[in-house]
Structure 1
Amino acid sequence: MHNSILILSDDKHDTENLLNLLDQKEGGEFNVECLTKLSSAIVRLKNHGIDAIILDLLLPDSYGIETFDQLFASAPHIPIVILSETDEEAIAKKAVEHGAKAYLSQGHFIGNIVPLTLRNIIQSKKTEANFYQEKERAEIALNSIGDAVICTNLLGQINYLNIAAEKMTGWTKEESNGQPIEKVFKIVNRTTRQPPEHNPVYLALEQDQVKGLRPDTVLLCKDGSEVSIEDSSSPIHNWDGKITGAVVVFHDVTEALSMTMKMAHLAQHDFLTNLPNRVLLNDRVSQAINHSERSNSQFALLFLDLDNFKNINDLLGHAVGDELLKSVAERLIHCVRKCDTVSRQGGDEFLILLAECVSGDDASIAADKILAELNHPHFITDRNLHITCSIGISVYPKDGLDADTLIKSADSAMYLAKEKGDNNYQFCTDEMNRNANQRLTIETNLRFSLDHHELILLYQPKINLKNGEIVGVEALLRSTRRELLNIAPKHLIKVAEDCGLIVPLGRWVIREACFQAKKWLASGTTFGSVAVNVSVIEFHQKNFISDIKATLKDTHLEPCYLELEITESVLMNNVESSRSLLNELKNLGIKLAVDDFGTGYSSLSYLKLFPLNVLKIDQSFVSDITSSSDTNIISAIVSMGKGLKLKVIAEGIETKSHLAFLQALDCEDGQGFLFSPPISANEFAKLSATKIKPWLHLISQVKTPAKVKVSKDHQVKLSV
């Protein structure tokens, strides 16, 4: 059956895009008519045959909300979808309040969103047309095809189940009739196994509001099985506006949760050995530090590097080398306690966290045991292989007060062990600890830079990986002070966080970036939006929101030109607090991005709670994108981003290979040294004004790697 669509717009580009998205081949779903004037449309609508209208509010003979009001008055029975410019979103929302069914951003029609939107509103309108002939519950059920639907009366007693609800609960419509909602729709928390304090159906009836469940809710079915669900409960009103009952709509999210858990495991574990990777180890070390501070205890880190492992790879091949690494991993696990952590850092390096060491002797005993165990032959592919290792040991708090310092101290001690000969271990020396004084030097110079205006911002463009357009820019802090020129930016930020400078530094960066964005706007420089990183300490400052408001007011910058990048670990630190803060920022009109996505612990269910615009793939995955594990992670993130209607941008694109893989995985945007290093504001303005960008030939010439295969279910395979 065909659906007739009227496109009312004089924008040829938008009209052409819409026609391409709405398949009009013989037997297709949509027949499309196009008009450019409101007056012509009103005449056309006097005749029947239009199922939905796509309306541009800016027409030759009408403009703004009046356009919608006139059209709606002439055909109130036909659903209307608004086309809106980004800066006209307020008018589009007002049109929705006046009766429009939805609005779409002009020039940004992604995938099947247009036909899907039309399909949904047409179906909704057809259902609404039968409203007076059917019971009120029929509308809800028909509008919820595919989801389970349960309706109740004012007392919360069930009077309807659709087929999906029957299948999920195990109750038939006849069995459930008259039963209290909590008996059929029996829900508990996945972890505590306790039911919610207030059933969402009763809350919807009492408060006359839509109510949802926590994302960790489980439905207990009649046969004893369990299903992870997401739901919402809404009151049902009659034509007099009185509540006559409630409806709960829910669906199975078990598969989505499984995918989230799988992705989290991939992000936190080494693909070859299945040991925790550097991300998970850092978290375990942070936990150990917190525990040691509370209990006044110590722990040790062992940095282990295999001796002459390269020779095995060169002589016997990487396949044999990989099997040897797996054998080493198994033996290391058996050498330590269950409370300890064995991790692989990459290559032939392993880090071992020995929790709660009474003294350095405990670390010595563990190191001796490891040296002896690894020295036994490894039987790999019909041959006995011999391997030894060198171990460096650091002890908290003597050798460092944070994970980075402890790892570096253990790493330095490991190199000392190698210098003294293979197959031995060394503790971090006092001389190594003196390197910590460098942190004090950095702090001193950082304070001087802030006080004496020796800080600058550089800007790295964000590029659309399909057409090469600049879609945004990230502001990056640098110091002009000679003593800090060779210090890695991440190290500067870490020191700033430790010494309490991060808040004034962050405030300066945001203000400077906003001033620069306003200058670019005044000069006609195209930059999309300017992104600024926000640390966990800044984000949870009491005056963070008020400072942002004051900065926008002082710089006269519209909020839509500012993007704040927040790491997922910051968001998950306090979900409710983070959600509240993000909603405030979103309401201001600021864009929000999750930085370094994939390295933390956010789940799909929690991610949906946050009002985000962008997911940024951490550069650690991009740098190793040619490995199947990191490729799978990136593919999963891209798929998740599209599912949540978020932009996905990859960081750290440095080679053509990185670009080719990301294009193959349909990653939308990216940034990195392949396109441009961080540059000054003036250099960026010149670059933006250049019609032919220097990276266009890279984007157009790079071919999809032959060994990347992305299946329909977004599984990535690497062929040899």
Structure 2
Amino acid sequence: MKELTSYISEEKMIRLLDFTNELIIHEGSFSSKLKNLCIELDAIHQTHTTFTVVYEKEIQHLPSLRFNEEFQIQEDRQLYKLLLQDPIPIGWQDLEHLALHRDTHYYVTNQGFNAHYYIPVYTKKNNPIGYFICYYDQHKDEHMNIAQFTDKITKIVQLIHKMQRYQTQIAQLTLVDAHTNLPSYKQFLRIIKQHKAKNKTGVIKIVEPGEFSKVVELFGRPAGDVMLKELGKRLKHLSASENSEVARFTSSSLIMFTPIDFHTIEKTRNAPITDAANSPFIIAGQQIYTTLKIGIAPFEQGHTEYDAIRFAESALTDSKLVPGTQINYYIEQSNRNVKRELLLLNHLKQAIQQKQITAHFQPKFEVRRERIASMEALARWISPELGFISPGEFIPMAESSGLIREIELQIIEQVLQWQQQRQYDGKRIVPIAINISPEHFYHPLFIPKLKSLIGQYYADPHFLIIEITESMSLFDFERAKIILTKLRLLGISTSVDDFGIGYSSLSYLQKFSFDELKIDQSFSRKIDELATQTIVKSIIQIAHMLDMTVIAEGVETLEQSTILKELECDVIQGFYYSRPLSIEDASKLLDEQIHSKKIQFNH
């Protein structure tokens, strides 16, 4: 661009090139970029020149620009086309009547410009982009090479046009899912935003083949794409409205908008959408039947498109919990539950850091000697902001979020601190049972960390009982056996919790050796039934033959306690004898037993 730099200073040239680079990467239409280019050129040349670009699309729109009765619209269009054919200088009077320049005419003449130069701009494939015009004062700029300068500027226009075309192509690719040729999620969002702007309501549906992961595992990812592509066609065909939109949502699901009243379909439960799974999908030449998991939510005023999609996802999650083809309709309570879960999760992390979760002890009473045999440590959380949080709410959340191990380690440490203090005070210590989750039990540092804490507090491991649930063995039999053996070698007792509710209860006892067996509380609640008594009696007899202590949990009435005693249950635990107590109250109860030899209970 040596000729160009001779026309304008090097500093202005650098400015122009920098500006061009910004234009290329900036989002916006081709028209807006050309407008900004002309504005920048005007600024660079100050009062010497003014620039304008008229491009091909504007020429096609000339019928809407009737301005001069003595020239017909068709003639105007033809004249512009002629101008695109021959890049020659044209005098001012030749362009004075042209429709696209009428608005510019007043400004140009008012600025004292009396000459112009026109040159067409083409792509490299000789397709017309439009033409570039520089208006100038021929008396002031007669020595400037306007033609040569304008010719170089057109190359910038060509570059902007080329990059704009690439950007448009890339943008189009993001609007279509390449694997299914369905609209992409991005395009789906654009469409429903347009519906929202027009105050159109409807429903959002998220549909996922129940066997999608198996299809992918057997036939590969392309097979899954084939299934979703066909499913998309079926959903569109079965839709209650021609204006429905179906798009790819995730790798395994589709998302759909239908302009229909949510409450109507929720009440009638009329969902022909499930018919999409009536016929098989042809995958790799094989017929594959699948179930459908569907979540449906309203898309109404007052909710953003993201809210509606989130609601549908929530409904989809619930539908996955039920076997077979399942439709779930979003209810407001679900949203409140999710908000509650997020709130608790945030506070739970703080609670662990600040050690707000404390151990409470629930005594276990030996039937024969009528005294406290041991106690179970239970986690309790009283949040400064939220108040008491039920363990039935925060324990499952801690397990699913991976925080349960930290909570259990804090409970273990509180137990060992209590035992150490009572040992220093010369008071009676009883074994404390601690529930351990599967994640913690199988953690590689479970045994090393436990040994470390025992050593730190100079604790007697014989006063620790590790409780694990019956379902624990389903994770890894061999590893469980090794870990239980290590606990036994340390002198720590083990207990199987919630016994009797699993499908492999007896085989569980056959494979593992436990010190205690805790009968699930569901048996205690129905112990007045003869069938339940028969089952419990059999469990107690088997456990005794294996030299195990039997504990019945969840005992709440005198009748339940009496029957369990008659069935020769060794230890009873439940609200009938004592609720979970703070460490201080549990210590007082234990001390009272020592002095009175027998505890008086208030039932």
Which category of TM-score, normalised to the shorter sequence, fits these structures? 0.3 to 0.5
TM-score, structure 2 normalization:
0.46
Larger Rg: 2
- More RCO (CA 8 Å, sep 6+): 2
